[in-house]
């Protein structure tokens, strides 16, 4: 079950809100007050996404590296920008955490020329795949990166995650390299994709109005 969102939030942190069919959504910046929620959501969506691929012990190593409150706090200290998406289902009063996204200075073995920003994480609950929520989140990512005078974005994606690869390519990203991504005792074939931020913003908006 998706974690319950905080009942009191800073309204100024909300960057985008609207409806996905009958479901209300809002996307807001996340910070130090969201560490526990981000940790719970990260583990939940990590298990949902990757349980089929990894042995439980290897997946636990990965989740502990990325989704403890301490790990998230460390990323924030190193300049990470985090967003959460919250949804309110029809005839319900509570909001639930349903997606998260993180942007950071690039740390990949290959990056495009010029100033770039890395999309470090983007996870959306499976029930909202195809709803448009991921495109709304990517619009916020592109806008934030452009405001920082970056021109390019870069993302690392498991080659077997065909849905994610197609999603990033739909936003104009092209493969520029590959490397081995270590998860516990397993090494994945990871692809590096990069694209133009302005083009990505245009394509994300186009997808939402199609």
Confidence at residue 73, expressed as pLDDT on a 0 to 100 scale: 96
How far apart, in whole angstroms, are the C-alpha atoms of residue 142 and residue 42?
22
Phi, psi dihedrals of residue 136, rounded to the nearest 5°: -60, -40
Q: Measuring CA to CA, which residue among 105, 170, 95, 92 is closest to residue 134?
A: 170
Burial 174-210 (b: 16+ CB within 10 A, else e): eebbeeebebeeeebebbbbbbbbeebbebbeebeee
Task: Tokens 């790990």: give the residue.
Answer: 71
Looking at residue 71, which CATH number applies to its domain? 3.40.630.30
Considering the chain, what percentage of its residues have pLDDT values greater than 90? 89
How far apart, in whole angstroms, are the C-alpha atoms of residue 50 and residue 175?
22
Confidence at residue 27, expressed as pLDDT on a 0 to 100 scale: 98
Residue 57 lies in a domain: yes
**Residue 169: partners with Cβ closer than 8 Å, 6 or more residues away:** 193
* pLDDT, the chain, mean: 95
Residue 4 lies in a domain: no
Considering the chain, what percentage of its residues have pLDDT values greater than 70? 100
Residue 1 lies in a domain: no
**Domain that residue 124 falls in:** 11-209
Q: Provide the number of structural domains found in the chain.
A: 1
For 130-171, list the strands marked E by DSSP.
Answer: 152-158
Residue 5 lies in a domain: no
Confidence at residue 182, expressed as pLDDT on a 0 to 100 scale: 94
Q: What is the mean pLDDT of residues 4-32?
A: 91
Confidence at residue 6, expressed as pLDDT on a 0 to 100 scale: 83
Flag whether pLDDT at 187 surpasses 90.
yes
Residue 41, both tokens: 């959501």
Residue 3 lies in a domain: no
Confidence at residue 55, expressed as pLDDT on a 0 to 100 scale: 95
**pTM of the shown model:** 0.94
134-179: pLDDT as tens digits? 999 999 999 999 999 999 999 999 999 999 999 999 999 999 999 9
pLDDT band at 7 (very low <50, low <70, confident <90, very high): confident
Confidence at residue 10, expressed as pLDDT on a 0 to 100 scale: 81
């Amino acid at each position: 079950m998706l974690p319950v969102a905080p009942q009191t939030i800073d309204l100024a942190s909300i960057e985008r809100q609207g409806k996905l069919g009958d479901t209300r959504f809002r996307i807001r910046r996340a910070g130090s007050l969201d560490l526990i929620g981000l940790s719970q959501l990260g583990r939940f969506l990590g298990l949902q996404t990757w349980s089929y691929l990894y042995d439980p012990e290897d997946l636990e190593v990965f989740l502990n590296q990325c989704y403890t409150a301490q790990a998230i706090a460390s990323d924030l200290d190193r300049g990470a920008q985090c967003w959460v998406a919250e949804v309110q289902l029809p005839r319900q009063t509570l909001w639930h955490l349903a997606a998260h996204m993180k942007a950071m200075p690039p740390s990949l073995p290959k990056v495009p020329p010029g100033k770039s920003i890395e999309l470090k994480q983007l996870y959306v609950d499976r029930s909202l795949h195809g709803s448009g929520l991921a495109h709304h989140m990517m619009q916020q990512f592109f806008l934030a990166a452009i405001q920082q005078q970056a021109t390019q974005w870069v993302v690392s994606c498991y080659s077997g995650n065909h849905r994610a690869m197609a999603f990033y390519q739909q936003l104009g990203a092209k493969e520029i390299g590959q490397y081995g991504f270590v998860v516990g005792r397993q090494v994945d074939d990871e692809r590096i994709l990069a694209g133009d931020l302005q083009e990505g913003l245009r394509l994300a908006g186009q997808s939402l109005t199609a």
